[in-house]
Amino acid sequence: MSNWINLDYNATTPLAPEALEIMLPYFTELSINPSSQGKIASQINADIENARSQLAKLVGVNSDTLTFMSGATEANLTAILSHAYFLKPTTKKPVLVSPIEHSSIINNLILHKQAFEYLTVDNQGVVDLIDLRQKLETGEYAYLNLMLANNETGVIQPIDSINSLLNEFNLPWHCDVSQAAGKITLNLPHFTSIVSASISAHKFHGPKGIGALYIKAGCEFKPLIYGGGQESDRRSGTQNVPSIIGMGAAAKLANDYLDNHTQSVENLRNKFEQTLLEQVDNCQVISQQALRLPNTSYLIFDNCEGEGLKILLNHYKVHCATGSACLTGKQKASHVPLALGLSEFQAKSALRFSLSRYTTKQEVDQAIPLVVKAVKKFRSVQSQTPSVGPVTIYTNS
């Protein structure tokens, strides 16, 4: 993607060069099964544990509470099925879920026929604490399934208040922290109601296809995959050693970044938003009044269609998204803005821009006029096109 401006880091991030360099020997001279015998295998196992410790520091947990998996989707499914297993069949209760969860939560609950009920969120995408309390008072729910930071809006939930409520009613919490890890400082054990949490390496410049599940010490747990007993019998199968090492290295880099540089990304995001609000009529930021991840901006451009705008911006070599990458190509409005009370037309008029620690001021300065140009061109074509079907945007000029 030479000369492209990448503003879609919430979908995925490129592998940090330092992490790649550390990974390379595990594809070649250190390409040994860690379950085998011998000095090299012992060293590889030690390296895996070092990577686990590096990841543990990023999310503030003890390393023995982390199990490496193929990603957050597997971690979410494992948590869902593990929690379901320990519910007595005769007294199974529905799961309490937010309507803005990732599809790997909602679709797996549906697929595995687990009853669930939605919480209410306000027009910023923040959980309604009054509604949460009222539902908890009924005692009718098994556990809460709520992501910490939303992948589309970037909204960070009021974790202290939620944790206090859940502790008051003794309800456990599974928390998807995939978008939060590496972007904000985490200390999961501080929030004692969180009994499990999912993490994905490719969200903080680690490799794709690797993630982890946090299981609070002392909590009941049933593995999803059985076999040779790897990962302390919690996730069998030969470990993906290069990716585990890469995830650990990326976690260390992210932790170092959080200690020193988070404000720079937020400053760039704020400049990007403010300039577009000044230069584009009928533009608004979704969830602008809420606490958000410092890198995420979700914008509605009235009288536009998000997919068309994205095509134009791709022509201009700006990479962004219409919502969750998992919904790309489905030609329907994302469930997240709809849950915030936006109309389907508004939801389809939105674009998500997300930055990373590699985003430069020059890239943001270059992207802003291209977004303005794309919106003006789309609106111009839209105003001249009869309402007979989808608008076709030609990008030869």
Q: Which helix (H) or strand (E) holds 330?
A: none
Read off the tokens for 388.
């007979």
In this predicted structure, what is the pLDDT of residue 386? 54
Percent helix, strand, coil in the chain, to 5, is: 45, 15, 45
Cα separations in angstroms, 387 against 381, 382, 392: 12, 9, 12
Range(s) of the chain covered by CATH 3.90.1150.10: 5-12+261-384
The predicted pLDDT at position 24 comes to 98
Do residues 98 and 121 make contact, with C-beta atoms less than 8 angstroms apart? yes
- With 80 as the cut, is the pLDDT of residue 1 above it? no
CA dist., res. 246 & res. 333, Å (int): 35
Q: What is the rounded distance in angstroms from the CA atom of residue 25 to the CA atom of residue 288?
A: 45
3-state class (DSSP) for residue 382: helix
* Residue 95, helix vs strand vs coil: strand
Neighbouring CB atoms inside 10 A of 313's CB total 24
Tell me what the pLDDT averaged over the chain comes to: 92
CATH number of 17-257: 3.40.640.10
DSSP letter assigned to residue 19: H
Q: How far apart are CA 8 and CA 324, in angstroms?
A: 10
The contacts of residue 15 (CB under 8 Å, 6+ apart) are 205, 206, 207, 246, 250
Q: What is the mean pLDDT of residues 327-342?
A: 79
Do 163 and 194 form a contact (C-beta atoms < 8 A)? yes
Fold of 5-12+261-384: Aspartate Aminotransferase, domain 1 (3.90.1150)
CB 99 within 8 A of CB 264: no
pLDDT of residue 395: 41
Q: What is the pLDDT of residue 263?
A: 78
Q: What is the pLDDT of residues 129-166, one digit of tens each?
A: 999 999 999 999 999 999 999 999 999 999 999 999 99
- Report the amino acid identity of residue 142: A
pLDDT digits 0-9 by tens, 64-120: 999 999 999 999 999 999 999 988 666 789 999 999 999 999 999 999 999 999 999
Neighbouring residues of 305: CB distance < 8 A, sequence distance ≥ 6: 348, 349, 378, 382, 390, 391
| Exposed/middle/buried for residue 142 (C-beta within 10 Å: 0-12, 13-18, 19+) | buried
Terminal CA-CA length for the chain: 21
At 40-78, the pLDDT tens digits run: 999 999 999 999 999 999 999 999 999 999 999 999 999
So what's the pLDDT on residue 64? 98
Helices 159-169 and 129-138: crossing angle, nearest 10°?
A: 10
The residues near 6 (Cβ < 8 Å, ≥ 6 apart) are 14, 319, 356, 359, 363
CB-CB contact of 117 with 94 (8 Å): yes
Q: Residue 392: what pLDDT?
A: 39
Catalytic entry in 283, 304, 320, 326: 326
What tokens appear for 247 in the block? 């995830």
What DSSP string runs through 352-364? Answer: EEE--TT--HHHH
Burial grade of 63 (CB within 10 A; 0-12, 13-18, 19 or more): middle
> Which residues have C-beta within 8 Å of that of residue 132, sequence separation ≥ 6?
96, 119, 162, 165
Q: Give ranges for CATH 3.40.640.10 in the chain.
A: 17-257
Share of the chain above pLDDT 70, in %: 93
Respond yes or no: is residue 326 known to be catalytic: yes
